[in-house]
Amino acid sequence: MAKLNKEYIEILQRDESAARNFWDLENRIFKDRIKIGVVIDMRRSRMIVNILELLHDKVIELNDLDEFSDELKETIKCFISK
């Protein structure tokens, strides 16, 4: 979230019209709201998908899964290598 906040500040500080900056920021927030790192559907059936999306969006790294089961880590690695 800190990274997003910095990017939002950059949008607002651009040398564009205030209206343009506002609407660009509004569009950006709309897109970011559906990203897994911002809003997450916490169901067991979505666990693998959530982890993969968090990895893809660089919210977490593989080493963040160190305390998870070997089976889960292998499953994630299989998906990543495809």
Task: Collect all residues with Cβ–Cβ distance below 8 Å to 14 and sequence separation of at least 6.
Answer: 21, 24
- Residues 24, 30, 36, 37: is their CA dihedral positive or negative? positive
Residue 30, pLDDT score: 87
Would the pTM of this model clear 0.75, i.e. be above it?
Answer: no
SS (H, E, C) the chain: CHHHHHHHHHHHCCCCCHHHHHHHHHHHHHHHCCCCCCCCCCCHHHHHHHHHHHHHCCCCCHHHHCCCCHHHHHHHHHHHHC
> What tens-digit pLDDT sequence spans the chain (82 residues)?
788 899 999 999 999 999 999 999 999 998 887 766 666 778 889 899 999 988 988 889 999 999 999 999 999 999 998 7
Residue 25, pLDDT score: 96
